Structure 1
Amino acid sequence: MKMTTTGWKRFGAVVLASAMPLSLLAGCGSESSGKTQITIFNSKMEIQDQMEKMAETYSEDHDVDVEVYYSSDTVSAHMATKYASNEPYTLAMVDAKDVYSLAKDYAVDLSDESWVEQTDQAIAIGGKTYGFPVSIEARGVIYNADPIEKIIGEDFDPEKYATLDEFKALITQLKKGGLATPTAVMKEDWSLAAHYLGEVYEEQEDPAAFIDELHEGKIDLNSNEKFNALMDTFDVLKANNYAADNAISAEREVSEQKLAEGEVAFMFGGNWDWAVINQYEYSKNMGMLPVPQDTDDDSNHKLVGGGSKFFIVDSTENTTEEQRSAAKDFLGWIVNDEAGQSFIVDDCSLVSPFTNNTLEVADPLGASVKEYSDTGMLIPSYNYMPDDHYSVLGAEFQKYLAGEEDRAKFAKGIEAYWKTAKITAPTE
């Protein structure tokens, strides 16, 4: 069941006008027809259908009624609206930074739950666990090995292309072999700024300290080794982009289709892109490799990622102990029940962050992420970007992609943004 905030309010008005039990309102009361009622906020659009189907079967199999809701608003704005109206969700799927901002006043301490020992991706604040990790997501360069192997005449081994020189040599070989434009570049602001530019921060020795120095105006990005290494790689992706002549008009779906069907071989992205790729005549001979770059810090052998989306359980007086108990049971079902494990891996095509979930990840991008995660080869995501980071710097990055400004000017735009940005790093 999908319902916007407006729809939710209309729903409440209908309930009140009809003199129906207030227990039907999210977070208010706990029983209807003898069953405890819980509401779940899902902020991951691509699994909304799966969440709704799961809620139906879970409600049938357990002594609880589950309703799932989705909103296209930003998570922080939507949650603020719900708390302001005293209509919180029993369980809310939020981003990492939201856990830090909400935990003290709105989240239950989950430290005593058995699943805490099964993951290293949960969010703890002050020694207490508040954030239940839903999945692991990671970023890197997605590859389709089919067109590569057709030209190089051997199995594609991503480990052979960790440096920029190695990657450039492969690009040259592919072009000589008939693949005129081996790459695709997504123009979306979130891909450019939140994901690619994000790696400039995440691959620093201390990301939080680096961002503090950016905020204080102490960083000269034009002389920063990591910024230049990653931008050197981006320049190679940009120069060999099938849409190089009009890069900021390239549609994501077209890029994903070309990658899926082997018209291009590489595109920066994450395992979430499988939700788009699998809509086409895709190759299963795909995977992810770390962003190739000239560096000696080993970051070119690691993906960037970690826990993605976190459930919190509402602690306010608008939620009853029965509802909180049912919510905890639901989280335990995800981790320990075969049906719950299958829901995450098979139904939602997500990578489980829990060690006891040994189900094989079906899609090749997720399988790559799991392999890197299982071997400790993930650089942690930095989850505390200001809300306007990807829109402001995404627009700046698009200018660079379009050739409207050079690297030096792009760097100055980034520096200018951070000098006035609101720092949202967590307090442990």
Structure 2
Amino acid sequence: MKRKFGWLGLMLALVMAVTACGGGGNKTPESPSASQAAESASPSATSSDLKAKITFLNSKGEIQAQLEEAAKTFSNDYPGVTVEILSTSSGQSPFEKASQMYAAGNPATILMLDPADVPKFKDRILDLSGEKWVADAIDNSLTKADGTVLDFPFAVEGFSLVYNKKVLDAAVGGSFDPATIQTRSDLKALFDKIEASGKKAIHVSPMDWSLGAHYMNFLYADQSSDYAQVEKFISDLKAGSVDLASNTVFNGLIDTFDLMKEYNITKDNPLSPPYEKGPEYLAKGDVGLWFMGNWAWPNIKSFDATGEYGFLPVPISDNAADYGNTQIATAVTKRLTIDKEKSTPEQQAAAKKFLEWLVYEQNGQDFLVNKANIIPAFKNITLEPQDPLAKSVKSYMSNGATVVGMTSMPADHWSKVGASMQKYMANAGDRAKLAEEIEDYWKTVK
């Protein structure tokens, strides 16, 4: 997606958001005053004027149950509004689902889209520039086009290697310190210690979105801490002038993936496990590590609600000073839009109130932070996340130890590059073939 801001700017904004929660200054408009916040803590006096049935397309399957509960809570707060939560099918992208709904003449009132998809619907969605929460969104988190605000930033998320501290404590014979893992050799030594303790080191989920959108994110983000260099690298890929076979980051990242493949609990049949096996393996202590993001906490919690978990970076070399070796990836990863093509004015008003409810009302904030375990993209929300993965993400953000979550990749990147990674994971192609397929993919991107 061609956004109006750079990825580096987004990451700086995410760090600023953390300090803003503690009262740090910035140049954006101030959050509501204490009296205003108190007034917005409960439904407004005009809530009875809202009467509509709206639909919400959810593309974050792991929070489907929480969203359905939030819809009931919102309807209790605003009795005239009914919210129906829809979902994408397994393996279906939000762009595909939203496009099908528009083709059928029945789009959802609120659509949860991936960042790269928002501009594709810009002529069919409302301008949200006048909404109250625009002033409280973290800097550079909004998708804009022609001076309008197209979306509501729904979630800040982080991803890297998730660890189960109980398993790692046993492996190292004491309290595990994540700061001890700064190189690939450090990671291998940890793998060996975990396996010596009687557990398997890691589970690598085979879904194309995990491999293509998340693991291969580091191919781009780790090229440089200078965004201009990351942008140039992608431009050069499109121009066909990058030789990945000789690229240091590519080779380092795949060397680390080879290590992960070697120690993978399902290496004998690596493409077979569904997503659900990841949280089960990790939470039950079958493995010490799982490559995934903080969105997985509700799944992990269903097996182990009281354990300690956190993130380790994905090191790509044996030089601890190399960029990427001590960082995780973070980004605003999901965005909400409101349909204007088929929705009635009453539905649009109800949808706007739902978004406002998420940001300013106690029940909405409780859903985001405590129920859905989401790190909000709004400076006024001071609720601290209670789950260990969100806490870990915020710690990396506070320390400036993040790389860019490449949310502006082309819509088919995760499926195409993910498919190439799946072949490599299953030993159906070598490194040279993987490099060739990634280069060929980028040559088709306009």
TM over 0.5: yes
Q: Which one of the candidate residues 375, 391, 414 is aligned to 2:438?
A: 414
**Which amino acid in the other structure matches residue 166 of structure 1?**
D
Mean CA deviation greater in 402-411 or 153-162: 402-411
The residue aligned with 1:144 is: 164
> Equivalents in 2 of 1:250, 1:59: separation in Å?
38
The residue identity in structure 1 corresponding to 2:168 is I
**What is the distance in 2 between the residues matched to 1:89 and 1:250?**
32
SS of the residue 1:247 aligns to:
coil
Does structure 2 retain, via aligned residues, the 8 Å contact 1:144–1:283? no
Deviates more, 1:131-140 or 1:89-98: 89-98
State the partner residue of 2:414. Answer: 390
In the TM superposition, what whole-angstrom CA distance separates every residue of 1:286-323 from its partner, at most 9, and x where no partner exists?
Answer: 1112212326453222211211211112333x334443
SS of corresponding position for 1:315: coil
**Inter-CA distance 100–209: structure 2 relative to 1 (3 Å threshold):** farther
Give the distance between the partners of 1:48 and 1:322, measured in 2 at CA. 25
- CA distance in 2: counterparts of 1:254 and 1:82, whole angstroms: 31
Relative to structure 1, is the Cα distance of residues 375 and 66 closer, same or farther in structure 2, using a 3 angstrom cutoff?
farther
What is the aligned partner in structure 2 of residue 70 from structure 1?
87
For 1:303 and 1:188, how far apart are their aligned partners in 2?
Answer: 20
What SS does the corresponding residue of 1:93 show, helix, strand or coil? Answer: strand
Indicate conservation of the 8 Å contact 1:306/1:378, yes or no.
no
Please state how far the C-alpha of 1:59 moved relative to its aligned partner: 2.0
Please say if residues 262 and 283 of structure 1, whose CA atoms lie closer than 8 Å, have aligned partners that are also in contact: no
Cα distance between partner residues in 2 of 1:408 and 1:207 = 22
**What is aligned with 1:131?**
151
Q: How does 1:36-75 map to 2 (within 5 A)?
A: 36-62=52-78, 64-68=80-84, 69-72=86-89, 73-75=92-94
1:300 maps to what in 2?
325
Distance 1:400 1:134 in 2: 33
**1:125-204 equivalent positions in 2, closer than 5 A:** 125-175=145-195, 177-179=196-198, 181-204=200-223
Question: What does residue 223 of structure 1 align with?
Answer: 246
- State whether structure 2 residue 284 is matched by structure 1 residue 261: yes
Q: For the Cα contact (< 8 Å) 1:215–1:419, is it kept in 2?
A: yes
Q: Which residue of 2 aligns with 1:14?
A: none
Give the match for residue 122 of structure 2: 103
Deviation beyond 6 Å, 4+ runs, structure 1: none
What is the CA distance between 1:283 and its match in structure 2? 5.8
Which residue among 340, 349, 356 is the counterpart of 1:332?
Answer: 356
- Residue in 2 that maps onto 1:21: none
The CA RMSD measured in Å over matched residues stands at: 2.6
User: Which residue number corresponds to residue 17 of structure 2?
Assistant: none
CA separation in 1, counterparts of 2:249 and 2:267? 24
Alignment: residue pair count: 389
Change (3 A) 1:50 1:173: closer
The answer to which structure, 1 or 2, has the higher relative contact order (CA under 8 A, 6+ apart) is 2
Q: Give 1:349 shift.
A: 2.1
AA at the equivalent of 2:324: S
Tell me the equivalent position of 1:10: none
> Does the CA contact (< 8 Å) of 2:222 and 2:323 recur in 1?
no
Q: Which residue of 2 aligns with 1:7?
A: none
- Percent sequence identity over aligned pairs: 36
Match in the other structure for 2:310 = 287
Partner of 1:28: none
Alpha-carbon spacing, 1:406–1:83, altered in 2? closer, same or farther (3 Å): closer
Query: Against the structure 1 CA distance between its residues 237 and 311, is the aligned structure 2 distance closer, same or farther, given a 3 Å change threshold?
Result: same
Residue 118 to residue 219, structure 1, CA distance change in 2 (3 Å): same
1:335 Cα deviation after fit: 0.8
Structure 1 Cα separation of the partners of residues 104 and 263 of structure 2:
51
Hey, what's the Cα distance between the residues in 1 that align with 2:268 and 2:198? 17
SS in 1 for 2:192: helix
| Of 149-158 and 118-127, the range deviating more from structure 2 | 118-127
Q: Helix, strand or coil for the counterpart of 2:347?
A: helix
- Name the residue aligned to 1:403: 427
Which of these residues, 339, 357, 366, is aligned with residue 342 of structure 1? 366
Q: Distance in 2 between matches of 1:181 and 1:49?
A: 31
Q: Distance in 1 between matches of 2:164 and 2:306?
A: 7
Quickly say closer, same or farther: Cα 1:112–1:217, change in 2 above 3 A.
same
Pairwise CA distance, 1:226: 1.2
Matched letter for residue 148 of structure 1: L
Moved more, 56-65 or 334-343: 56-65
* Aligned residues of 1:179 and 1:264 also touching (Cα < 8 A): no
The answer to whether the aligner puts 1:92 opposite 2:111 as a matched pair is: yes
Quote how far apart the aligned CAs of 1:274 are.
2.1
Quote the Cα distance in structure 1 between the aligned partners of 2:50 and 2:203. 54
Deviations 1:139-159 (A, max 9, x none): 100111112212322221112
Pairwise CA distance, 1:126:
4.3
Consecutive unaligned residues in structure 2, runs of 5 or more: 1-47
Q: Distance in 2 between matches of 1:244 and 1:384?
A: 31
TM-score normalised by length of structure 2: 0.79
Deviation string for 1:68-101 (max 9, x for gaps)?
2223243222222333444333322111112122
**In the aligned structure 1, how far is the partner of 2:104 from the partner of 2:273?**
41
Unaligned runs of 5+ in 1: 1-31, 424-428
Larger Rg: 1
Give the CA deviation at 1:116: 3.2
SS state of the match for residue 271, structure 2? helix
TM-score (norm 1): 0.82
- Counterpart-to-counterpart distance in 1, 2:155 and 2:181: 28
Change (3 A) 1:312 1:347: same
Looking at structure 2, the residues matched to 105 and 33 of structure 1 have their Cα atoms a distance apart, in angstroms, of 26
